[in-house]
Amino acid sequence: MAASDSTHEETGETGATPAPGEGTAPAVPPATVTGTAPEPEGAGRRGEEPARMTIWVRGEVQGVGFRWFTRAAALRIGGLVGFALNLDDGRVQIVGEGARAHCEELLDWLRGGDTPGHVEGVTEIWDEPRGGYRGFAIR
């Protein structure tokens, strides 16, 4: 088959174009050409990055089932490991590791007023996960 002379629509130039099936590459779907680059290792959508939060809850939070309900909330949210612990000064300390969005959901629950007892304040710090937990424990 011979090449034919035609006008190239994209450039307006004239010249020889290969006949169908001769010297042409298969068409590349536009999505392949304009797709986004893969994310770097460890990157994820917002909220999926791993996090560790340590929380101290002040108020009437000991002797009212607070740790048990905190563990139940962590299990309901899913994807969290860590513990809830009564401190000698009357506070409850909670350490949770998992996706940041899951940690934030537990934190929102602790601040939301649907906890046993009476929460006067919640303080948290964020860090990189350290690992070493299996499940969510009451200590």
Q: Which of 97, 104, 100, 89 is nearest to 56 (CA)?
A: 89
**Active-site annotation, residues:** 67, 86
3-state SS class at 83: strand
How are beta strands 92-99 and 50-60 bridged, if at all?
Answer: antiparallel
Pull the structure tokens for residue 117. Answer: 């007892």
Find all residues with CB under 8 Å of 56, minimum gap 6, and list them.
87, 91, 92, 93, 94, 122, 123, 124
